[in-house]
Chain A
Amino acid sequence: MTADLSVDLGHLRLRGPVIAASGTFGYGTEVPLLERRTLAAVVSKGIFLRPRPGTPPPRIVETPSGMLNAIGLQGPGAEALLRDYAPLWSAWDFPVLVNINGETVEEYGELTAQLDGVPGVGGFEVNISCPNVEQGGMYFGNDPRAAADVTRAVRRRTKLPVWVKLTPNVGDIAEVARAVEDAGADALCAVNTFLGMSIDLHSFRPRLSFRTGGLSGPAIRPLALHLAHQVARNVQVPVIGIGGIAGPEDALEFLVAGCAAVQVGTATFADPRAIAGVHDGIAAYLESKGWTSLKELPRYLPLD
């Protein structure tokens, strides 16, 4: 028999634990060869209220076991998103959450209000790794109070699931996690990419036109696992683990470390079937243990 892989994230039940990470799955229509039965949910490419052109190339560079990206949140804006994609999403048998971004707290709120209630929009993942224009460009996610302000602005405008995607580029991730939990987040996603840099020794300049970029891929997995575990120990809401997950063992590590679900991102670039591989591998692992449900998986969450 097939093990029950469904998970509950607050009031949201997903048919499996593997979610497509924002920015690695487009708007759900692009990735080929996907076995959709294994997909629990999709988080859309990050969107702002208005269209954004993105950063000049080069936008990506491969690094040891990872990649740096600085795409600049290129996107069509809320209006085009609702026109071109939401109608497609409303016919799918898994939820699509929209990854939302803003330059001000008010902009996050306004974007949420525009998307809330539109058929096809299944919830929100709040990207707090954006510079706060009103605070001299300091990232919302680096400041527990600003992170909580953004979370509240979104929470006030929707009853749909609100996930907050935490940045690892902070001193104390647990403090930010508790602040956004208190502000009403239904789940926390840990973690976003790590800030990184690579220099081109032909031009003596950064390889990315944006100078810095977000590091993803297996290179960050142990770092991300540690942070996801710290978050899981410090909040009551479910935690969704993210960071370099490419295979079922990687995902199981995050689940044992206290995560309720995982997101697969960069791995999809190399293998369009990566999500299916993770999902089916978890099922096979549970069956090999004689377990009938993911809920039987032991968790490592010491209280000290």
Chain B
Amino acid sequence: MFEASAPLSERRQVARDMFVLGFDAPAVAAAAKAGQFVNLGLQPGPLLRRPFSVYRAGGGRVEIVLRAVGEGTSQLLSLREGDLVSVLGPLGTGFRFDPAWRSVALVSGGLGLAPMLLAARDARAAGLSVHWVHGARTAWDLGSEWDGEEATWATDDGSRGFQGSAVAAVEEEFGAVLACGPNPMLAAVAERWPDAQVAVETYMGCGTGVCLGCAVPLTAGGYDRACREGPVYRAADVDWPALPSHLYYTAVPVASPSRPSPATGGGEVPV
């Protein structure tokens, strides 16, 4: 694990309201594995760091993908090139890969695309054939970046690819399934593929295992930490009904018509 005061060196839009930010943090980039995350600290900024899956890592740079959903993400998206962010990572336990699987399906929904490019990279390195199935609300909300051979798109409104969820869009059998997306989607993954590896989302305090704030309820009873034992779990090991399914990151967006939600006001977000 490393901590680096890292300059913003990249920003690009990859879908409606969805952006990639890159930070120069060579040690973190070199160590990051699929499914791991970085915890970003802003100074000045909110009290706690903000956790993000590592989206891409290489050439000395760590990339994350995000939407403005609250104070921290809005502040990150207003950074200018060269602005410094404290990057702590890589953190957590990522996906496992086994050459014996021969093939792997990467199943993601919405911002759940975040760990999938690294998952594809690490899966190929393990000699696996990779098929990505990614879903979003509309064609505008799908991520535009994919360097794999095979991909299937799914949209709720049918504006691109399969009409329906990413989970429903998976037709073939694969040696293994890796998934990331909203927790209700991951609960559906657990129903269909109990042995799938899923990357969960929780509120998080420290990101390093001390605060016990990111508790993940287990079917075996008790809790463990998304930041240490997770964020990747065997799907059937998570007690899905006990895991909060919707995370709201900000206190303001429902309140005032004069202050539109950053999550829907794409025009406010500097590109």
Contacts and interface: CB of A to CB of B under 8 A. Distances in A.
A270 B41 contact: yes
A67 B211 CA distance: 12
B210 A56 contact: no
Interface residues of A, number: 38
Contacts of A74: 212, 215, 223
Contacts of A53: 221-223
B210 A269 contact: yes
A277 interface: no
Given A74-B223, A201-B255, A270-B41, A57 B48 contact: no
A57 B47 contact: no
A60 B203 CA distance: 7
Contacts of B46: 62
Contacts of A67: 47-48, 205
B47 A202 contact: no
Contacts, number: 105
A233 interface: no
A24 B210 contact: yes
Interface centre among B208, B222, B243 (most CB of A within 10 A): B208
Nearest to A64: B47
B88 interface: yes
Interface in B232-255: 242-244, 246, 248, 251, 254-255
A69 B211 contact: yes
Interface of B is mostly: loop
A31 B210 contact: yes
Contact of A62 (B47, B88, B209, B242): B47
B10 interface: no
Nearest to B207: A269
A66 B48 CA distance: 9
Contacts of B158: none
A200 B248 contact: yes
Contacts of A60: 203-205, 211, 213
Nearest to A200: B248
A74 B217 CA distance: 13
Interface residues of B, number: 36
A26 B210 contact: yes
B254 A26 contact: no
B27 interface: no
Interface string B209-231: 11111111100011100001000
Contact of B211 (A32, A57, A202, A269): A269
Interface of A: 23-26, 30-33, 45, 53-62, 65-67, 69, 71, 74, 198, 200-202, 217-218, 266, 268-273
- 5 closest A-B pairs by beta carbon, nearest first, are A60-B213, A269-B206, A26-B210, A30-B209, A53-B222
Interface of B: 1, 3, 41, 46-49, 86, 88, 202-206, 208-217, 221-223, 228, 242-244, 246, 248, 251, 254-255
Given A45-B210, A57-B214, A271-B86, 14 more contacts: A32-B1, A45-B212, A53-B221, A56-B215, A59-B212, A59-B214, A67-B205, A69-B205, A74-B212, A74-B215, A202-B246, A217-B47, A266-B47, A268-B206
